[in-house]
Amino acid sequence: MNRCRGAAVALVVLTLAAAVAGGALAPHDPAASIGAPWTPPGAGAPLGTDAAGRDVLSRVLAGGRDLTLTALAAAVVAGLAGLAGGLTAGWAGGRTGRWLTAAADLLLALPFLLLALVLAVALPTPAAVVAGTVCGGAPLGLRLVRDLVRQARRAGYVEAARCRGESTAAIVVREVLPSLAGLASADMVLRFVLALQLSAAFGMLGQGPQPPAPDWGLMLRENLAGAALNPAALVAPATALTVLALAAVLLSSAFTVPPRSRKSDRMSAVGTIVDTRAGDGAVLKVTGLTVTDDGGWAIVEDVFLRAWPGEVVAIVGPSGGGKTTTVRAVLDVLGPGLRRTGGTVAWRGTRVRPGQDARRWRRAHVGLLDQDPAGSLNPLLGVGALVLEGHRRSPAEARAVLTDLGLDADRLWRRRPHELSGGQAQRVALARTLLGDPGLLVLDEPTSGLDPDALDLVVRAIERRRGDGRSVTLVISHDEGFVVRVADRVLTIGTPDPAEPGAPGPAATGADRGEPVLRVRGLRLAQGGETLLADAGLSLRPGELVAVLGPSGAGKSTLLRALAGLHPPEAGELWLHGLPLAWPLGERPREALRDAQLVGQDPAGALNPAHRVGTALARPPQVLGGLSREQAHARVPGLLRRVGLDPALAARLPGELSGGQRQRVALARALAVGPTVLLADEITSALDDTAAAGLLRLLEELRGDGLAVLMVTHDRRVAACADRVLHLAGHQPSLDPARTEDRTRAH
């Protein structure tokens, strides 16, 4: 990757040097006439002569200097202006950000060429080109940098820096600027393209170097009339300009190429399903289905699946094991980058071929309820249109289905999805799926996306279909309790993992471990004006693992961010080691910053892409532990070993690590300062099963040393390792102690 970037830089530097210094190689005086006008290429002049009989080759060699230098200056000024504006707008936000953005939008609404031309009345040409590039280019840079800065502000590495109490300047210089360097440089290179266009246009308009001095832009206009006599006089400067512009575009794209992650990032295991029953009488027959990704790696292989009329078949397996991929491959609706490379699908004895054939089959016989059914509704259509679309059914039938699902069909008929509640939207999607009474019904993780009432309706529909002698229901789920409830037959995907993720149980824990290390009372949390939690309480003892479960949007992550000091709550009291602690980060003492460490859910954003692992791990002890650079770096190998990583990884960039390795590094960064409380936000959700199991085992070891862990999760198997589980019920903003599982009360 770096080699490709280096080659592009070398190429551009060479091109620029040729454009600027090419005049030294000119065989003739570029301003002197050497023959008749527009002589075709010949012995004395390899590219012929121009309108005034001057040597075209000499003029092309010499004609790029002023133009290129002006464009370079303009690009630098515009790039820096955009960078400064973007940093300010993105970091300050609020009113400053809005005003800067409004000014940028104003300039973007006007053609920069026009602005430059107007300015050319009063300013000399190079200044007008610079001003035009700033007006036309800086706003683009401002927007890009602003968005990148906003993204970085929310990224795990910036939040980690804030949590260790670094100053704003240090965060901008150490964390934000390096992380956006690649994209911002790519953008600045594009400013050069803009400046080059302006510069060429100005030269052509006669605003550049005055004749007879050579200029590529002016050469184009001068020689236009002689195109038939000596085309080389036009082609040569045009080619020079094109090469320069394309070299810049190439450099820009070299800066945007993301670092390629290692092959070990790929799925470790290939999923497969072997349905052993004989295929007689099955309505759905899937034989030898194989799906590969872009790189030719198999995702699922040799899937055999049979379903008999009236049967409910469940496919279970770990997340990331290929359940959804399998079913999507059967339906021929694979996502981008995945391809079905083998196997057949047959429905009622007829082969369903991918393409048109499969599309007609889906329309006539298949109903699919997605993981997020409410999100699959077109926001521009009314309920009636949504339900009826694609079915050849009457509105009366649609109303009947809606009513059957407990919706007031007449009242909702014309409403659009955003005018429905979340539960209503889920039912509308369900009604659409059930309306055709599809021969094959596919439910993708119904327990994770649906609220309990909608889930009951789904179960009712499944019950109705069971044993009706014609329809088949496929359920994909990782929720074993649900599967046991509804399925006639359960198929497991994937090779069984020897290291069971649920292995570390709550065995060695239980007894009172002394005073709570963290205690919260009367916590009220809100986000965007909506109350998420009210009057919630919580305590955490040393060595304890408390899991927080709840539907998305219930405020699980917000709770952790509040405890970490990143999201001050509306009300509430907090004690750490029995001492009262302020909520905002800025008011917390250094020891408190050290004691509570947050690890986020997104391993990709947790580490600064520009910092090597060693740098990331050495920083917290320097800031919070008062260690010197050398001391901090000396502790890195030990930290890496502690989280089960090879110390040699310290020299790698995050882009060169796998997801599981990144998450372990993020954990190591949190452990580097010796915290007593770990706030873990879905730290296993982005990992494959083996990596998740390893991480949970590691947590178990750390708890043995007295580390208290508060862990947000949606995965019940992860929650099963916890000493206690807190439920954040959806839309009921309370940490309800009555619904607390296990033996200890939440308060």
Q: Find where tokens 């002016």 sit.
A: 218
3 state SS for 36-74: CCCCCCCCCCCCCECCCCEEHHHHHHHCCHHHHHHHHHH
User: Helix or strand or coil: residue 56?
Assistant: helix
Smallest CA-to-CA distance from 492 within 714, 317, 632 is with 317
With contacts defined by CB under 8 A, name the span among 314-322, 360-368, 534-542, 702-710 that binds other proteins: 360-368
Smallest CA-to-CA distance from 535 within 526, 546, 544, 548 is with 526
Residue 286: CB atoms within 10 A of its CB come to 23
Q: Which CB, 207 or 539, lies closer to other proteins?
A: 207
Give the nearest distance from C-beta 601 to other proteins in angstroms. Answer: 21
User: Helix or strand or coil: residue 194?
Assistant: helix
Q: Which CB, 330 or 668, lies closer to other proteins?
A: 330
With contacts defined by CB under 8 A, name the span among 72-80, 353-361, 597-605, 719-727 that binds other proteins: 353-361
Give the nearest distance from C-beta 417 to other proteins in angstroms. Answer: 8
Give the nearest distance from C-beta 677 to other proteins in angstroms. Answer: 37
Give the nearest distance from C-beta 12 to other proteins in angstroms. Answer: 13
User: Which structure tokens are listed for 446?
Assistant: 């119904």
Backbone φ, ψ for residue 609 (5° rounding): -60, -20
User: Helix or strand or coil: residue 399?
Assistant: helix
Q: Which CB, 249 or 534, lies closer to other proteins?
A: 249
Give the nearest distance from C-beta 415 to other proteins in angstroms. Answer: 9
Asked if 677 contacts 518 with a C-beta cutoff of 8 angstroms, the reply is yes
With contacts defined by CB under 8 A, name the span among 199-207, 597-605, 609-617, 683-691 that binds other proteins: 199-207
Residue from the set 9, 69, 113, 566 that interacts with other proteins by CB under 8 A: 113
- Characterize the bridge pairing of strands 472-477 and 440-444: parallel
Subset of residues 172 to 191 that bind other proteins, contact rule: CB under 8 A? 190
With contacts defined by CB under 8 A, name the span among 173-181, 220-228, 263-271, 493-501 that binds other proteins: 220-228
Give the nearest distance from C-beta 430 to other proteins in angstroms. Answer: 13
Smallest CA-to-CA distance from 74 within 201, 173, 172 is with 201
| Integer Cα distance of 284 and 516 in angstroms | 57
Q: Which residues pair with 306 in a beta bridge?
A: 285
Subset of residues 670 to 709 that bind other proteins, contact rule: CB under 8 A? none
Q: Which CB, 411 or 743, lies closer to other proteins?
A: 411
Residue 416 as a binder of other proteins (CB under 8 A): the answer is yes
Please name the residues in contact with 699: beta carbons below 8 A apart, sequence gap of 6 or more: 504, 545, 678, 680, 709, 711, 721
Residue 201 as a binder of other proteins (CB under 8 A): the answer is yes
Q: Which CB, 223 or 608, lies closer to other proteins?
A: 223
Q: Which CB, 165 or 208, lies closer to other proteins?
A: 208
Subset of residues 223 to 262 that bind other proteins, contact rule: CB under 8 A? 224-225, 227-228, 231, 234-235, 237-238, 241-242, 245-246, 248-249, 253
With contacts defined by CB under 8 A, name the span among 14-22, 340-348, 358-366, 645-653 that binds other proteins: 358-366
Q: Which CB, 378 or 531, lies closer to other proteins?
A: 378
Residue from the set 62, 87, 220, 718 that interacts with other proteins by CB under 8 A: 220
Q: Which CB, 408 or 480, lies closer to other proteins?
A: 408
Distance between first and last Cα of the chain: 53
Edge-to-edge, what's the strand order for the sheet holding 571-576? 530-540, 518-527, 571-576, 579-580
Check residue 323 and report its DSSP letter: H
Q: How far is CA 584 from CA 15, 78, 465, 594, in A?
A: 53, 38, 55, 15
Q: Which CB, 109 or 738, lies closer to other proteins?
A: 109
Give the nearest distance from C-beta 624 to other proteins in angstroms. Answer: 41
Residue from the set 124, 281, 296, 336 that interacts with other proteins by CB under 8 A: 336
Subset of residues 302 to 331 that bind other proteins, contact rule: CB under 8 A? 331
Give the nearest distance from C-beta 280 to other proteins in angstroms. Answer: 28
Q: Could you give the maximum distance between any two Cα atoms of the chain, in Å?
A: 103
Q: Write the single-letter amino acid at 460.
A: R
Q: Which CB, 160 or 236, lies closer to other proteins?
A: 236
| Integer Cα distance of 183 and 176 in angstroms | 12
Strands (E), 400-506: 440-444, 472-477, 489-492
Residue 42 as a binder of other proteins (CB under 8 A): the answer is no
Give the nearest distance from C-beta 451 to other proteins in angstroms. Answer: 18
Q: Which CB, 131 or 666, lies closer to other proteins?
A: 131
Give the nearest distance from C-beta 183 to other proteins in angstroms. Answer: 15
Residue 390 as a binder of other proteins (CB under 8 A): the answer is yes
Asked if 259 contacts 284 with a C-beta cutoff of 8 angstroms, the reply is no
Smallest CA-to-CA distance from 598 within 588, 227, 211 is with 588
Subset of residues 418 to 437 that bind other proteins, contact rule: CB under 8 A? 418-419
| Integer Cα distance of 284 and 347 in angstroms | 5
With contacts defined by CB under 8 A, name the span among 111-119, 526-534, 661-669, 739-747 that binds other proteins: 111-119
Q: How far is CA 178 from CA 14, 16, 152, 248, in A?
A: 26, 26, 11, 22
Binding mask 361-380 for other proteins (x = CB under 8 A): xxxx-x-x-x-x--xxxxxx
The number of residues that bind other proteins (CB under 8 A) is: 74
Subset of residues 446 to 485 that bind other proteins, contact rule: CB under 8 A? none
Residue 535 as a binder of other proteins (CB under 8 A): the answer is no
Give the nearest distance from C-beta 294 to other proteins in angstroms. Answer: 7
Give the nearest distance from C-beta 47 to other proteins in angstroms. Answer: 13
Give the nearest distance from C-beta 389 to other proteins in angstroms. Answer: 7
The counts of H helices and E strands in the chain are: 29, 18
Smallest CA-to-CA distance from 523 within 513, 510, 505, 536 is with 536
Q: Which CB, 199 or 676, lies closer to other proteins?
A: 199
Q: Which CB, 375 or 514, lies closer to other proteins?
A: 375
Subset of residues 43 to 102 that bind other proteins, contact rule: CB under 8 A? none
Give the nearest distance from C-beta 730 to other proteins in angstroms. Answer: 21
With contacts defined by CB under 8 A, name the span among 333-341, 463-471, 503-511, 694-702 that binds other proteins: 333-341
Q: Which CB, 129 or 560, lies closer to other proteins?
A: 129
Residue 468: CB atoms within 10 A of its CB come to 10
Please name the residues in contact with 11: beta carbons below 8 A apart, sequence gap of 6 or more: 247, 250, 251
Subset of residues 568 to 607 that bind other proteins, contact rule: CB under 8 A? none
Subset of residues 116 to 145 that bind other proteins, contact rule: CB under 8 A? 117-123
Give the nearest distance from C-beta 239 to other proteins in angstroms. Answer: 8
Q: Which CB, 416 or 716, lies closer to other proteins?
A: 416
Please name the residues in contact with 13: beta carbons below 8 A apart, sequence gap of 6 or more: none
Please name the residues in contact with 692: beta carbons below 8 A apart, sequence gap of 6 or more: 501, 660, 684, 718
3 state SS for 137-171: HHHHHHHHHHHHHHHHHHCHHHHHHHHCCCCHHHH
Cα-Cα-Cα-Cα dihedral of 201, 205, 209, 215, to 10°?
Answer: 60
Give the nearest distance from C-beta 398 to other proteins in angstroms. Answer: 15
Residue 722: CB atoms within 10 A of its CB come to 23
Q: Which CB, 196 or 298, lies closer to other proteins?
A: 196
Q: With both helix axes pointing from N to C terminus, report the angle between 613-624 and 659-671 in degrees, rounded to the nearest 10.
A: 20
Q: Which CB, 417 or 733, lies closer to other proteins?
A: 417
